[in-house]
């Protein structure tokens, strides 16, 4: 990691083809033809693929209250970097994940860095975007259990619901997904930095299975003693079950749990 102010592209252009700098995502050409830095006044976080090759960067703004500048900026899509395919720190995390058969997914780059520095090297993150099917498949290829850590506020639970839809499409029988919701306003970086690895492990122990999260979602705000509410819950459950494509036994078990919760049989 390092920091970038301005003028890097100007220096690089003295030794490299300007078009190459644009293609690899370091430079942008203005309308008047001048080159300028894509990453300006940022903490630079290198992104490596699973094999350990450098494929891009993430830049965190060093301006505390940026105006029109995003807090985080990734390299653009290039021949090497496709953010929907990559998991941050998978190159150094895969050994620990394979050893423990457990991967932990957090939301931010600094969440990953703090966890690794504290000794939990199973932690990875998407590239600042929602979980993709490719990322989910890669996680389950290395791990039997994947724990997703989210903020406990409303946006965090909305993000968890979106992630659950992807996980359902990629989960296989014998694999487990767990959801961890941290206290509102807290994240893994803050938790570990303030309270240490033991507190992080204690939090991980409170993670609960995807099936419970989905069951809570299906019945949320509904009275299962009222037929109209049962129908609404059944519709939500049906939509969830249609996403399970590869896990036959899991789908059967999840269907049975939904039926017990709702109090009625679901159509096949």
Q: Where are the domains of the chain?
A: 8-74, 90-206, 213-262
Residues 6+ apart with CB under 8 A from 40: 4, 5, 6
pLDDT of residue 264: 96
pLDDT of residue 208: 95
On whether the pTM is more than 0.75, the answer is yes
Per-residue pLDDT for 96 more than 80? yes
pLDDT of residue 184: 83
Average of pLDDT values for 61-65?
Answer: 76
Of 15-24, 68-77, 124-133, 153-162, the least confident:
15-24
As a whole number of angstroms, the distance between CA 194 and CA 204 comes to: 16
pLDDT of residue 34: 72
Closest CA to 152 of 186, 123, 129: 186
pLDDT of residue 97: 99
Per-residue pLDDT for 111 more than 80? yes
Per-residue pLDDT for 226 more than 90? yes
As a whole number of angstroms, the distance between CA 136 and CA 182 comes to: 21
Q: What is the CATH number of domain 8-74?
A: 3.90.980.10
Tens of pLDDT, residue by residue over 147-189, are 999 988 888 889 999 999 999 999 999 999 999 999 888 899 9
As a whole number of angstroms, the distance between CA 67 and CA 63 comes to: 9
- Number of Cβ within 10 Å of residue 9's Cβ equals 22
Crossing angle of helices 227-241 and 210-219, rounded to 10°: 140
> Own/partner pairs for 67-75, CB < 8 Å, 24+ apart?
72/109, 72/128, 73/38, 73/39, 73/42, 74/47, 74/127, 74/128, 75/24, 75/25, 75/38, 75/47
pLDDT band at 65 (very low <50, low <70, confident <90, very high): low
Per-residue pLDDT for 132 more than 90? yes
Among residues of the chain, what percentage have pLDDT more than 90? 68
Tens of pLDDT, residue by residue over 10-25, are 656 656 776 777 777 7
Closest CA to 87 of 110, 105, 111: 105
pLDDT of residue 110: 94
- Return the structure tokens found at 238: 């049906």
Closest CA to 90 of 118, 112, 119: 112
Instruction: Tell me which architecture the domain covering 90-206 has in CATH.
Output: 3-Layer(aba) Sandwich (3.40)
Average of pLDDT values for 61-70?
Answer: 72
């Amino acid at each position: 990691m390092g920091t970038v102010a301005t003028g890097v592209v100007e220096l690089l252009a003295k030794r490299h083809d300007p078009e190459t700098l644009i293609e690899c995502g370091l430079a942008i050409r203005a309308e008047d033809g001048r080159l300028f830095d894509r990453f300006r006044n940022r903490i630079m976080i290198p992104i490596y693929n699973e094999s350990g090759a450098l494929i891009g960067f993430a830049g965190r703004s060093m301006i505390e209250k940026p105006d029109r500048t995003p807090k985080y900026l990734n390299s653009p899509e290039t021949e090497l970097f496709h953010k929907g395919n990559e998991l941050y720190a998978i190159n150094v995390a895969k050994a620990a994940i394979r050893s423990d058969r457990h991967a932990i997914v957090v939301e931010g780059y600094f969440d990953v860095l703090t966890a690794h520095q504290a000794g939990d090297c199973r932690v990875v993150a998407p590239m600042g975007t929602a979980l993709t099917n490719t990322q989910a498949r890669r996680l389950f290829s290395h791990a039997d259990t994947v724990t997703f850590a989210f903020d406990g506020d409303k946006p965090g639970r909305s993000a968890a619901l979106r992630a659950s839809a992807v996980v359902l499409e990629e989960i296989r029988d014998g694999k487990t997904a767990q959801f961890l919701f941290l206290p509102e306003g807290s994240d893994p970086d803050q938790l570990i930095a303030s309270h240490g690895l033991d507190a992080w492990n204690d939090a991980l122990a409170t993670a609960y299975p995807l099936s419970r999260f989905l069951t809570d979602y299906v019945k949320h705000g509904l009275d299962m003693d009222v037929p109209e509410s049962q129908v609404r819950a059944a519709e939500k459950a049906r939509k969830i079950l249609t996403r399970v494509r590869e896990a036959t036994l899991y789908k059967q078990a999840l269907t049975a749990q939904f039926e017990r919760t709702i109090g009625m049989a679901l159509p096949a």
